[in-house]
Amino acid sequence: MTHAFATRLSAHFATLPVQMQKAARWVLEHPQDAALLSMREQARRAGVQPATMTRLAQALGFDGYDAVRALHAQSMRHAQQGLSGRAEERLPLEAGSPEAAARAMLTHAGEQMGQMTRPDLLDALAQAAQILGQARRVFSLGRRSSHAVAWHFHYALSLVSDRAQFLGDAAGSGLDPLLRAGPQDALLVCGVAPYTRSVVEAVAQAHAQRVQVVALTDGPLSPLIVPDAVALIVPTHSASFLHSMTPAFLIAEILAALVARADDPATLARLDGLDRQLAALNTFFHDPKEVSP
């Protein structure tokens, strides 16, 4: 979607008059219509005068609105034939170029996503969601490359529940809350090889205290999978130098959503509305006044 139009727009948007912003916003949200409909029809749907569309195009440095439409048309063409498969010819990339590498990693990630609809993973997810949903407190733990995953899960859960508690490493005492945990509590731990020792030990400790463990990890033989733990096993193989944590991240996100869903539908709906309202308000304004604190 981000062709020259969006680029030029983002450079000028803040300084644009209100009506043009309105028009621009509509165009951004309806790239297909921008390609297929007449300018006047677009103006009608955007709730704007026809002249405004022309002025917008000119303000962005285009000859006229036809140029804008042509741009969207071209983009639509590319998008369609890009998806249908024979897109290789129009990207003559050198092997080893950054673009080629990026493309390879993206493709690889896409394939990994596809592999993750395994039934056992879905089962494990549902099981984990139930455990975490019923727990009195939900601890999250992850270090190094797994830190972001665990933290994100914690953050998502904390939006809808005050049962979430993150086990950081602040002043070396981050794991202390675990000492007071018991069978009513649950621990989501994320870790991949090479496993961080403190994490492995913490999980063992948790297990010893009969804390329910959900392990988001990279293989069935991971040391994080203690007896009775629910294991969420994700691929980590990557084309780059470090393991890909994206699959784990996705699973964490999904798990948080599942837990939240079961947690309190009312809270959830409210948060949903609020969030999207804020988003709608803020997305298209550069004015710092319009952002959330």
Partner DNA sequence: CATATGATGAAACATATGTTGCATTGGCCC
Partner DNA sequence: GGGCCAATGCAACATATGTTTCATCATATG
Q: What minimum distance in Å lies between the beta carbon of 16 and DNA?
A: 7
β-pairing, 138-142 vs 230-233, is unpaired
Q: Could you say which of its own copies, DNA, none residue 55 binds, taking C-beta under 5 to 8 angstroms by partner kind? A: DNA
Candidates 32, 38, 240, 267; binder of DNA (CB under 7 A) is: 38
- Joined together, the tokens standing for residue 242 give 């470090």
Dihedral of alpha carbons 26, 29, 31, 35, sign: negative
Q: What minimum distance in Å lies between the beta carbon of 260 and its own copies?
A: 6
Please list every residue from 97 through 116 that binds DNA, using CB under 7 A. none
Distance between first and last Cα of the chain: 29
Q: What minimum distance in Å lies between the beta carbon of 107 and DNA?
A: 37
Q: Could you say which of DNA, its own copies, none residue 18 binds, taking C-beta under 5 to 8 angstroms by partner kind? A: DNA
Query: By CB under 7 A, is residue 35 in contact with DNA?
Result: no
Closest by alpha carbon to 188, among 259, 238, 237, 243? Answer: 259
Q: What is the CA radius of gyration of the chain?
A: 24
Q: What minimum distance in Å lies between the beta carbon of 72 and DNA?
A: 12
Candidates 9, 35, 46, 54; binder of DNA (CB under 7 A) is: 54
Angle at 119 between CA 118 and CA 120, to 5 degrees: 95
DSSP per-residue letters across 18-54:
HHHHHHHHHHHH-HHHHHHS-HHHHHHHHTS-HHHHH
Nearer to its own copies, 70 or 177 (CB): 70
Q: What minimum distance in Å lies between the beta carbon of 152 and its own copies?
A: 4
Nearer to DNA, 59 or 268 (CB): 59
Residue with tokens 């951004």: 28
Contacts of 211 (CB under 8 A, 6+ apart): 139, 178, 181, 182, 183, 185, 186, 187
Nearer to its own copies, 59 or 159 (CB): 159
Contact mark string toward DNA, 5..34, x via CB under 7 A: ------------xxxx--------------
How buried is 120 (Cβ within 10 angstroms: 0-12 exposed, 13-18 middle, 19+ buried)?
exposed
Candidates 26, 65, 153, 166; binder of DNA (CB under 7 A) is: 65
Q: What minimum distance in Å lies between the beta carbon of 111 and its own copies?
A: 9
Q: Could you say which of DNA, its own copies, none residue 256 binds, taking C-beta under 5 to 8 angstroms by partner kind? A: its own copies
Q: Residue 144: which H helix or E strand, with range?
A: none
Q: Could you say which of DNA, its own copies, none residue 51 binds, taking C-beta under 5 to 8 angstroms by partner kind? A: DNA
- Joined together, the tokens standing for residue 187 give 């621990």
Q: Could you say which of DNA, its own copies, none residue 40 binds, taking C-beta under 5 to 8 angstroms by partner kind? A: DNA
Footprint of DNA on this chain (CB under 7 A)?
17-20, 38-41, 48-55, 57-58, 63-66, 69
